[in-house]
Amino acid sequence: MKKINLLFIALLFPLFASQAQNRMILHVDEAEETINREIYGHFAEHLGRCIYDGLYVGEDSEIENIKGYRKDIIEALKEMQIPLLRWPGGCFADTYHWKDGIGPRASRPSIVNIHWGGVTEDNSFGTHEFLEFCELINAEPYVNLNVGSGTVQEASEWVEYITSSNQSPMTDLRKQNGRNEPWKVKYFGIGNENWGCGGNMTPEYYADLYRRFASYCGGAEFKIAGGPNVDDYNWTEVMMRKLQNHMFLMQGLSLHYYTIPQDWPPRFSATDFDKADWQETMFQVHRMEELIEKHSTIMDKYDPDKNVGLMVDEWGTWFAPMEGTNPGFLHQQNTLRDALVAGIGLNIFNNHADRVKMANIAQMVNVLQAVILTKGQELVLTPTYHVFKMYAAHQDAKLVPFHLSAEDYTINNQTLPSISTSASVKDGVLNVTMCNSNPDKDIEIEYDVRGASFSQAKGEILTAKSITDYNDFGGKNTVYTTDFKVNKPKNGKVKIKIPAKSVVLVQLSNSKGA
């Protein structure tokens, strides 16, 4: 009889082990690091239909607007709680001369957008328009200065024009253009992708040039240096080494990484894909963890106190442009797959909040992984929009340390973790966001909450019938958030079944209304 029992236990052990490994221990009382709200930032470049025919339609448009900005976009962004917006680029930034975009619109010179589609634009959206739009949506502005084709004088005068209250030619010019008081702009980027479209520079050359530009942009409170492309660790090494005695000139170092299945240039459809393509995309977004860790290790060597933030100011999915559109406009649809990429990416940024201080998904409207798509009078909120709205609970919350043990899954011999998660506490509410990227299997997981006691629970979920589902014009919305039932905590533990291919928010509190 004893042998039979041992055999029975041995046969069941793999099942017990599988169930036991899906567990998350959360140490609420150890929450110290703040998740900077700017991690939930966005990016608007003069590219395709992002600015023109996107967020800005002009005051004479039949589309309802406030001073030319689409009213429905303003309302949607405020509801999503957008904290920050980066502008004017991107590659466009290093061809942009800011004085072309001020003064009476009728007298502004037109320019050709050499990077994106070769189209001519009239500069009707410039400094005043951008900063006014940021005020309308309650977002912190992030202005990217021109280093590639600009001058130190041009950059320093732009900073002065925006931020100075002293009597000077630039403040006089701003007042002539209708703005008496300076704007409160904290973030200034000095150049963009200087290793590529921003000048094809070496890191040694750019580091010296950066010090020169930064020295004369004293009105910029928080200066962000152009950082590495993906895994160019040498760029980070050179920048940190050459700035180590001038750290007062650099408060942030950017990192650009796009989730691109297979090879460059992007050639895979945003909507027509199978589970193998899904898996490759999930693999690529998980690579963000490795990039942040390795670049942070280099930064730690020169900046152990973490005074310089790692700013992931361009990230998101990049697929082949939608058929029938200008390929230079980078217009793509946005499916449930994009929602999982957004959720996993944001979880990674949250969990590295000690070094990552900003992240701006590309781009806000009609371009790449947009949160909003427009066509005439119609507006579509994409799956990515709903994820950002869900994750807003983490903004400026305290990061909760945790230990996660969860099962993996395999597709086409490629193995990945099923669960991505992050947790925070704010105003007495514990927020746990989870992504189950396994497209086929629900995952049951037990949450063991330590260091705090909660009596109430509620949840929210985003999923769809198919991995290729998306929201479209004509009211065809198939991917959106709904309530997710969560049982009340019992003895500090909560068991949750996270459906396949879903993003979930669970909130624990001691208030029935929380």
| pLDDT one-digit tens code per residue, 266-319 | 889 999 999 999 999 999 999 999 999 999 999 999 999 999 999 999 999 999
| Between 264 and 192, the higher pLDDT residue | 192
Residues of the chain with pLDDT > 70: what percent?
Answer: 96
Q: Is 313 domain-assigned?
A: yes
**In which band, very low, low, confident or very high, does the pLDDT at 514 lie, cut at 50, 70 and 90?**
low
The active-site residue out of 314, 378, 446, 460 is: 314
* 119 shares a domain with 51: yes
Residue 90: cis peptide before it, omega within 30 degrees of 0: yes
Catalytic residue list contains 221: no
Last residue of a domain, one of 353, 371, 395: 395
My answer on whether 419 and 357 are in the same domain is no
* 453 and 371 within one domain: no
Is 127 a member of any domain?
yes
Position 264 scores a pLDDT of 83
Decide: 147 and 199 in contact? Cβ < 8 Å: yes
Name the domain boundary from 346, 377, 395.
Answer: 395
Among 366, 395, 424, the domain-final residue is 395
pLDDT tens column, 181-234 = 999 999 999 999 999 999 999 999 999 999 999 999 989 999 999 999 999 999
Question: Do 493 and 391 fall within a single domain?
Answer: no
Same domain, 78 and 25: no
Number of domains making up the chain: 2
Domain of residue 439, residue span? 20-32+400-509
Residues 65 and 132 in one domain: yes
Determine which one of 38, 193, 280, 460 is catalytic. Answer: 193
**Catalytic residue check, 314:** yes
421 in the same domain as 351: no
Collapsed DSSP state (helix, strand, coil) of residue 335? strand
Using the predicted structure, report yes or no on whether residue 117 has a pLDDT greater than 80: yes
Tokens at residue 91, please? 């590659």
Q: How far apart are CA 201 and CA 213, in angstroms?
A: 15
Q: Residue 430 pLDDT > 50, yes or no?
A: yes
The verdict on residue 12 lying in a domain is: no
Residue 178 domain-assigned (yes or no): yes
Angle (CA) 72-74-76 rounded to 5° is 65
Residue 6 within a domain:
no
- Rounded to an integer, the average pLDDT of 151-159 is 98
Q: Is residue 431 part of a domain?
A: yes
Give the C-alpha separation, 53 to 44, whole Å.
13
- Asked if 194 and 284 sit in the same domain, the reply is yes
Same domain, 357 and 388: yes
Measuring CA to CA, which residue among 206, 203, 191 is closest to residue 233? Answer: 203
Residue 391 sits in the same domain as residue 453: no
Q: What's the pLDDT score for residue 513? A: 57
Q: Does 8 fall in a domain?
A: no
Burial 58-92 (b: 16+ CB within 10 A, else e): eeeeebebeebbbebbbebbeebbbbbbbbbbbbb
Asked whether residue 375 falls in the same domain as residue 455, the answer is no
So what's the pLDDT on residue 423? 98
User: Is 69 domain-assigned?
Assistant: yes
Q: What is the pTM of this model?
A: 0.94
Same domain, 466 and 428: yes
Any residues with CB less than 8 A from the CB of 346 and at least 6 apart, and which? 39, 40, 359, 387, 388, 391, 394, 422, 433
34, 396, 433, 390 alpha-carbon torsion, rounded to 10°: -170
Supply the CATH number for residue 26's domain: 2.60.40.1180
